[in-house]
Chains A and B, each alone.
Chain A
Amino acid sequence: MDTLDLLIARALQSGWGKAEPSSRVWHRIRRQIAARPAPNIPTRDFYLAPYWTPAVDTVFPFPSAGSLVLWRYDLALSRFA
């Protein structure tokens, strides 16, 4: 801390160092919280608006290339085991 730091700190302290909010603020907070609606669980109409997407396997009933490679890798491992 040198002179400049002290000057800045003093200027800010003398400007706002003793500032206090009025007591009205706490009453306003309490009122605002009391006026808030109680949290409710969102309701969803599962029949009219389905949120799921159909699984790919039900449309294309063949295994993917990736799973075939894994299957063969599994076979190779079992042969050397």
Chain B
Amino acid sequence: MKEQHTNQSASQASSDGERLLRLRRGDIEALGELYEEYKTPIFRTALAITRDRGAAEDILQECFVRLFTHSDRLFTDRSVGPWLYRVAVNLSCDWIQNHRRWVRFSEGLEQWLHSLRPMPEREVEDQELQERIREAVRGLSLAQQVVVVLFYLEGLSLKEIAEILEVPEGTVKSRLHYAREALKESLMEWQPRRSVVYELT
């Protein structure tokens, strides 16, 4: 399994490397191929951190313009995925720090609109729980939020996240642990309407 993953990473790195070489010669088609491959995870990550579609699209755009500009500085024997994730995470964190007031306002607006939609009770509960978790994630520190998004939404390993954030694997592990504890505590306080009990470990 591990060997298969390694082979996959190696082939990914070689195809990315070949595209980077073409990109350095000004081949925009190579950028298009990289965009098709990475646009969804990069956009999703930026969206989950900023929670603003417009901002996430701007960040996606900036990531690929930077990839074009800095293609001569990237290693051709590695996948460009971690580099793109790193740029997206940094830009998303910068955006959050510059738009804190707007984020609070738009979230309040979203919740109000959500409450207007009629739904069956069970669906409401399920949506409420999920909304509660997403809200609790929003309450974490920015560093913890990033790790939670990369781990649970993108399904990346601790090692991959450490590479993206350029921090030791232990730091990622500890951020994830404390984030998990905080989320657990937040969910313990939540009382579902139909007394569904989730056993949280």
Chain A residues with CB under 8 Å of chain B are 2-5, 7-17, 19-22, 24-26, 28-30, 32-33, 36
Q: Does the CB pair B201–A15 fall under 8 Å?
A: no
Q: Is the CB of A29 within 8 A of B149?
A: no
Give CA–CA (A36, B200) in the complex, Å: 53
- B89 sits at the interface (CB 8 A): no
Of the candidates A9, A13, A17, A33, the one whose C-beta lies within 8 Å of that of B28 is A33
User: Does B85 touch A at the CB level, under 8 Å?
Assistant: no
- Please determine whether A21 and B60 come into contact, CB atoms closer than 8 angstroms: yes
From A12, A19, A29, A33, B137 is in contact (CB under 8 Å) with A12
B61 touching A28 by the CB < 8 A rule?
A: yes
A7 vs B133: C-alpha distance when bound (angstroms): 8
For A10, give the chain B residue with the smallest CB separation.
B130
Instruction: Collect the chain A residues with CB atoms within 8 Å of residue B198's CB.
Output: 3-4, 7
Pair A8/B129 contact, Cβ less than 8 Å: no
- List A contacts of B153 (CB < 8 A): 9, 12-13, 16-17
Asked whether, in the complex, the Cβ of B43 is within 8 Å of the Cβ of A11, the reply is no
Cα separation A27 to B129 with both chains bound (whole Å) = 38
